[in-house]
Chain A
Amino acid sequence: MEEKYLVCEDSIEGVFTGIYEAYALREGHEHIHIQIGEEGNLRLFATYINIEPDAVKTAKVAQTLRKRLGDEVYLYICRALAAQDRMKGEAVYKTVVNGLSKGGGRRVMENLADTHVERTFELARSAANEALRYIEIVRFKESGEGILFSKIAPKCNVIPFIMPHFADRLSVENFIIFDDMRKIYGVHPALKDWYMVSDSDNSVYDMFGESDKENEYQELFTAFCKTIAIKERINPKLQQQMLPLRFREYMVEFDKK
């Protein structure tokens, strides 16, 4: 039988709409695949169908997944789709099939011997790990108006996963976190709900200027980090293993070295 590729946008909406359409085809799932974005090499004897993200279909899929697979599995799926990986759409789609149609149900994520489940699990884990990492290493600067602003460049789309943490922790603060890779802002007005906006460039971020005190605290913290190391134990390799260089770009304590 001919293979069918549903070409979806790289977003939760894109892939969920793809899953909706895959079920709508009613031809079993063996020969249907979800592909994210265009691929260079088209396969012969395969049909490619472009899927436009659709809010209504997305909502239906989301509802079904939450109801039948539970919130925990749903969270795995959302995290996996935040990962930076070309095969994530297929992994998630086949995991969903495993859960809904092959009896995996709420326990589907435990079935790690299944390749797609394992893939989804790993992707979700990498996205969750990166989100956790960013919860730790986001560094806010204070603007002249007292707004906290921060720039990050994560591999995965972590903003939706880290905003709830900061919104809870810094509820009385106005703050924004800017994802420089995707040009997405997470915005939190003091004592209100947070939201996300996207932009085409860095113009909003670049409007923030640092307050008078800002530099002083950056220097204090930099000095603190230096002092706290025990010289008899200096071990840059261990430091690098714990905190790889790629994360340090926007961390004030490493900035000026």
Chain B
Amino acid sequence: MEKLNILADAAKYDVSCSSSGSSRGGNAKGIGNTVSAGLCHSFAADGRCISLLKILFTNECIFDCRYCMNRRSNDVPRASFTPDEVCALTMEFYRRNYIEGLFLSSGILYSPDYTMELICQTLYKLRNIHHFNGYIHVKAIPGADPALIHKAGFLADRMSVNLELPTAESLKQLAPNKNRKSILKPMRQIQNTISANKEELTLYRHTPRFCEAGQSTQMIIGATPESDYQIMSVAENLYQKFSLKRVYYSAFVNVNEDKALPALPGGPPLLREHRLYQADWLLRFYGFKVDELLTDDRPNFNMRIDPKADWAVRHLELFPIEINRADYRLLLRVPGIGVRSAKRIIGARRFGNLNFNDLKKMGVVLKRALYFITCSGKMMYPTKIEEDYIVRNLTDDKERLKFTNDGMRYEQLSLFS
């Protein structure tokens, strides 16, 4: 019990909890399947989803990353699991439907290879002795032998190598034992194996699958001075050049009270993290490019309104658009219209012209959309089309309360920055 507490506690800052991306039916031999949309089994007191048994194999570590609770120089209780312990916990939790699978990360015990070897052993036992067919997300330890990473990838649904910090300089400063190369190398290896595996799968259907749910990474936000523009550009690059499935952003929590790191008296920059996730969403599902959202002159997101609304009010010349004619791509650009409602609009307007009431039924948030759309040539009601006015009406006060302890903080930030 103590062990689980220590090793779950040590793993909690890793944000990726998603269990999505794989879709695999059960089999008669063992237990488990995966659901491509992912499932959240519970929610912790911080409101984050609990989907996977998220633990470290060990919190021993020979490295000394300044932002990390488990760094060598910290005096914290240490513990390590055995492969069998991890298997038993995973199986028993899974049978009871507590979890969707396992998220196994680790500090570095003795050496990257030694640690990766233990991780591989654990996964091998889970898959082949316990016949666990559920979701496994495993961390590739930077610096481990490519052969071990290769092996782990055939046992896992998803692998990730954390980028940790957006730029090489920041990394050098805060993670002296890591460097950009030792992180990007396994990332590239995983990418290449995934794509080779895909080709093989088209030829031989029963080829074992390598990281079916792809690869993800994580960046810590707010520990170093990078702008949102820099961060999002890195993310865009990772999506395009490394074919990542997900990039996660983790609001920095100063666990070590390290002097090299910002103190953040107002708590972790949660609203900023939220904006980055919103923008990330726009890149992946809404056809936006980073350069459309941010520029060198405006390198940070607007804390008052979300990135999509922000884009729209700065492009009022493109609006309003006609709901009954606009193409899908344009519909997606309207604040208050999501992927789902855009698809519904396209489907429903085949049966006849849509009016505002119909849009409401389809899940369009009219309160937000009304400045940007017409139905059969008419706006919902006459309104001022003016940037400041619209921004004021699109500002969501609840959102601010949700992500800050004091509503003031971001106002102040933007005043002084």
Within B36-64, the residues touching A (CB, 8 Å) are 39-50, 53-54
Q: Does A11 contact B (CB under 8 A)?
A: no
B337-368 contact mask (Cβ, 8 Å, vs A): 1 or 0: 00000001001101110110010011000000
What string of 1s and 0s marks CB contacts (under 8 Å) between A139-174 and chain B? 111100000101000000000000001111111110
Contact B31 A169 (CB under 8 A): yes
**Residue A236 interfacial (CB < 8 Å):** yes
Q: Determine the chain B residues whose CB is within 8 A of the CB of A137 once the complex forms.
A: 41-42, 97
Which single member of B1, B27, B251, B354 contacts A171 (CB below 8 Å)? Answer: B27
The one of B47, B97, B267, B351 that contacts A242, using a Cβ cutoff of 8 Å: B47
- Give a binary string over A164-202; 1 marks a CB under 8 Å from any B CB, 0 the rest: 011111111100000000000000000100000000000
Interface residues of A in 222-254 (CB under 8 A from B): 223-239, 241-243, 251-253
B362 smallest CB distance to A (angstroms) = 6
Residue A221 interfacial (CB < 8 Å): yes
- The reply to whether A220 and B1 form a contact with Cβ atoms under 8 Å apart is yes
Contacting residues, chain A, for B92 (C-beta < 8 A): 213, 217
Check B354–A113 contact: CB distance below 8 A.
Answer: yes
B268 pairs with A233, CB closer than 8 A: yes
Identity of the chain A residue whose Cβ is nearest the Cβ of B89 in the assembled complex: A220
Contacts of B33 in A (CB 8 A): 168-169
B382 within 8 A of A: no
Instruction: Report the count of interface residues on A (CB-CB < 8 A).
Output: 56
Across the interface, B97 reaches (CB within 8 A) one of A132, A139, A243, namely A139
| Tier of interface size on chain B | 35 or more
Report whether A112 and B362 are in contact in the complex, using a CB–CB cutoff of 8 Å.
yes
Task: For B362, list chain A residues within 8 Å (CB).
Answer: 112
Known contacts: A233-B268, A242-B49. The answer to whether A173 contacts B31 by CB under 8 A is: yes
How far is it, in angstroms, between the C-alpha of A137 and the C-alpha of B43 when the chains are bound?
Answer: 10
Q: Say yes or no: is B96 at the interface (Cβ < 8 Å to chain A).
A: yes
Tell me whether A107 is interfacial, beta carbon within 8 Å.
yes
Q: A107-B347, A168-B33, A172-B28 are in contact. Are A239 and B45 (CB under 8 A)?
A: yes
- Tell me if A118 is interfacial: C-beta within 8 Å of chain B: yes
Whether, in the assembled complex, A138 has its beta carbon less than 8 Å from a beta carbon of chain B, the answer is: yes
Evaluate contact between B50 and A232: CB separation under 8 angstroms.
no
**Residue A21 CB within 8 A of the other chain:** no
**Distance to closest chain A CB from B27 (angstroms):** 7
- Looking at B6-14, B72-80, B177-185, the stretch in contact with chain A turns out to be B6-14
**Minimum Cβ distance to chain A for residue B334 (Å):** 18
Chain B residues within 8 Å of A237, by CB: 47, 402
Task: State whether the Cβ of A3 lies closer than 8 Å to any Cβ in chain B.
Answer: no
B239 interface hit (Cβ, 8 Å): no
- A235→B42 contact, CB < 8 A: no
Are A110 and B46 in contact (CB-based, < 8 A)? no
Does B171 touch A at the CB level, under 8 Å?
no
Contact A142 B95 (CB under 8 A): yes
Q: Which residues of the other chain, A, contact B98 by a CB distance below 8 angstroms? A: 139, 221, 252-253
**Is A87 among interface residues, defined by CB-CB distance under 8 A?**
no
- Give complex CA distance A166, B13 in Å: 31
Chain A residues closer than 8 Å to B347, beta-carbon distance: 107, 110, 112
A62 adjacent to chain B (CB < 8 Å): no
Output the residue of B11, B47, B97, B251 with the most chain A CB within 10 A: B97
Q: Would B13 and A230 count as touching, CB distance under 8 A? A: yes
Whether the Cβ atoms of B50 and A110 lie closer than 8 Å is: no
- CA A106 – CA B360 in complex, angstroms? 23
Q: Which residues of A contact B28 (CB under 8 A)?
A: 171-172, 191
Report if A217-B12 is in contact (Cβ < 8 Å); known contacts: A168-B25, A172-B30, A229-B46.
no
Secondary structure at the A interface, as helix, strand, loop or mixed, is helix
Q: For the complex, is A136 an interface residue (Cβ under 8 Å from B)? A: yes
* Cβ contacts under 8 Å, B45 to chain A: 226, 229, 234-236, 239
Q: Does B253 contact A (CB under 8 A)?
A: yes
Q: Is the CB of A113 within 8 A of B358?
A: yes
Q: Complex formed: what's the CA distance from A72 to B410 in Å?
A: 47
Q: Any chain A CB within 8 A of the CB of B32?
A: yes
Chain B hits for A140, CB < 8 A: 95-97
A51 located at the interface, meaning its Cβ lies under 8 Å from any Cβ of chain B in the complex? no
Is A135 among interface residues, defined by CB-CB distance under 8 A? Answer: yes
* Bound form: Cα–Cα A110–B98 in Å: 36
Q: B27, B40, B267, B402: which contacts A136 (Cβ < 8 A)?
A: B40
User: A residues within 8 A CB of B344?
Assistant: 110, 112
Contact yes or no, B4 A220, CB < 8 A:
yes
How far apart sit A252 and B97, CA to CA, in the bound complex (Å)?
11
Partner of B44, one of A150, A169, A229: A229
A126 in the interface (beta carbon within 8 A): no
| B27 near A148: Cβ-Cβ < 8 Å | no
* B358 A112 Cβ-Cβ under 8 A: yes
User: Which residues of B are found within 8 Å of A253, using beta-carbon distances?
Assistant: 42, 98
Closest to A119 in B: B361
B96, A148: Cβ atoms closer than 8 Å: yes
Q: Are A217 and B50 in contact, with the CB atoms below 8 A?
A: no
Q: How far is the CA of A113 from the CA of B4 in the complex (A)?
A: 53
Most B-side CB within 10 Å, residue of A150, A168, A241: A168
A232 vs B97: C-alpha distance when bound (angstroms): 28
Task: Let me know if B26 is at the binding interface, CB within 8 A.
Answer: yes
Chain B residues positioned under 8 Å from A52 (CB to CB): none
Given A166-B97, A238-B46, 13 more contacts at CB 8 Å?
Answer: A107-B350, A110-B348, A113-B352, A113-B354, A136-B40, A137-B97, A223-B4, A224-B8, A230-B12, A230-B48, A233-B268, A237-B47, A251-B42
On B, residues with C-beta under 8 Å from A are 1, 4-5, 8-9, 11-13, 25-33, 35, 39-50, 53-54, 89, 92-93, 95-98, 134, 251, 253, 267-268, 270, 344, 347-348, 350-352, 354-355, 358, 361-362, 402
Q: Which 5 pairs of residues, A with B, have the shortest CB-CB distance?
A: A238-B47, A110-B347, A229-B44, A233-B46, A168-B26
23 contacts between A and B (CB under 8 A): A110-B351, A111-B351, A112-B344, A112-B358, A113-B354, A169-B32, A171-B28, A219-B1, A221-B98, A226-B45, A227-B4, A228-B11, A228-B50, A229-B48, A230-B253, A231-B46, A233-B267, A236-B47, A237-B402, A238-B402, A239-B44, A242-B43, A252-B96
